[in-house]
Amino acid sequence: MSSFENLRVVDNFYQTSLFFPMPTVVISTLCEDGSTSLGPYSLIQPYYVAGKDFYAMLLSCRNNSNTAQHILTDGKCAINFIDDDPKTFKEAVKLSWPGDTPAEKMKNCNFRLEKSQIEEETGEKRPMVMTDAIQVIECSWVRELDHAENDQPGQLNGYKPPYHDFNGITSEFGAHFILKVDRILMKKKYSDAIINGVRSQDFPPLPVDYGYRDSKNFWFHRKRRMRAELLPMRKTELSSVRYAADRIDDKIRFTDDALEKLLNVPRIFLPTALKGCVDWARENGVELITAEHMAIINDKRSKEKNK
């Protein structure tokens, strides 16, 4: 017999039928007059994380919100991650009343704004970013995906079908936006932690949000103590790494001490790791890859990552 209750799956199931932990962001977009408007959002997540020509986020929102209408107009937005101070969360919730115009809500908004770095460098008009954000992702909507390039702003009382599946106008009142990551901005204290390696105390105070419930409240909690869970290391046998290595190329070989550097690589990633080494060897005219070569290859990889 099941140990669970079976809940009804209804509209907004993530906040009506689940306890679903979410981030809290305030999205800045450009109004027609060039000013910046802010709206709070939680249904936002990484979408393309690797293996594509660009990186992307996914936003799910009401299609007649100011944010959606502005993205449909000029495709630009900035995703500002606010801190977990209850005063900051209160300020964000103040910006959430559906139907408020940007002018109505921005006149009472206490969040400080500053010019986008991209605008400063290129002169391209971009929404301002929040000075007190911990980190910001500056984005551009990828209109071409799902053929959403002809989706237009202006239908505030509901869009007529046909609808897209995953980008642009996706239902009468819904929209999804695949947002290319143009730039990630972060306060120095936290970018230092990313570059130098994080300790428990280095994580920023980001809230965890459980959405709108009981037709009254937005629920969230503040950051808690961060714990680290060590990944159990599984070492592959040298003989099985050798077996895979000898099948990558008919000429290029590895010494045992070179292959020992790959014993910790999970088996599923091993062919890709080996192929990377063989590609490097080919480019550099090496036929026997040694431990010293592996150090050079690793160094090159970590430099590329830091770039």
Ligand X SMILES: Cc1cc2nc3c(=O)[nH]c(=O)nc-3n(C[C@H](O)[C@H](O)[C@H](O)COP(=O)(O)O)c2cc1C
Positions touching ligand X (CB under 6 A) are: 24, 37, 39-43, 60-62, 65-67, 92-93, 96-98, 209, 218
Rounded CA separation 234/182 (Å): 37
Tokens of 5: 């209750």
CB of 185 vs ligand X, minimal distance in Å? 21
Widest CA span in the chain: 70
- CB of 134 within 8 A of CB of 151? no
CB burial of 31-64 (b: ≥16 within 10 Å; e: otherwise) equals beeeebbbbbbbbbeebbeeeeeebbbbbbbebb
Taking the C-alpha atoms of residue 100 and residue 90, their distance in angstroms, rounded to an integer, is 17
Smallest gap from Cβ 170 to ligand X, in A, equals: 12
CA pair distance 198, 204, nearest whole angstrom:
10
Q: Can you give the length of the chain in residues?
A: 307
Tell the burial category of 113 from Cβ atoms under 10 Å away from its Cβ (0-12, 13-18, 19+): buried
β-strands 113-114, 129-130 pairing: antiparallel
Q: Minimal distance in Å, beta carbon 275 to ligand X?
A: 40
Instruction: Supply the Cα-derived Rg of the chain in whole angstroms.
Output: 24
Cis peptide before 153 (omega within 30 of 0): no
Closest contact distance (angstroms) between CB of 40 and ligand X is 4
Helix (H) or strand (E) holding 181: strand 174-186
Which single residue brings its beta carbon nearest to ligand X? 39
Q: Of 164 and 242, which CB lies nearer to ligand X in the complex structure?
A: 164
Q: Which residues pair with 183 in a beta bridge?
A: 138
Give the Cα separation of 133 and 88 in Å (integer). Answer: 10
DSSP tag of 45? E
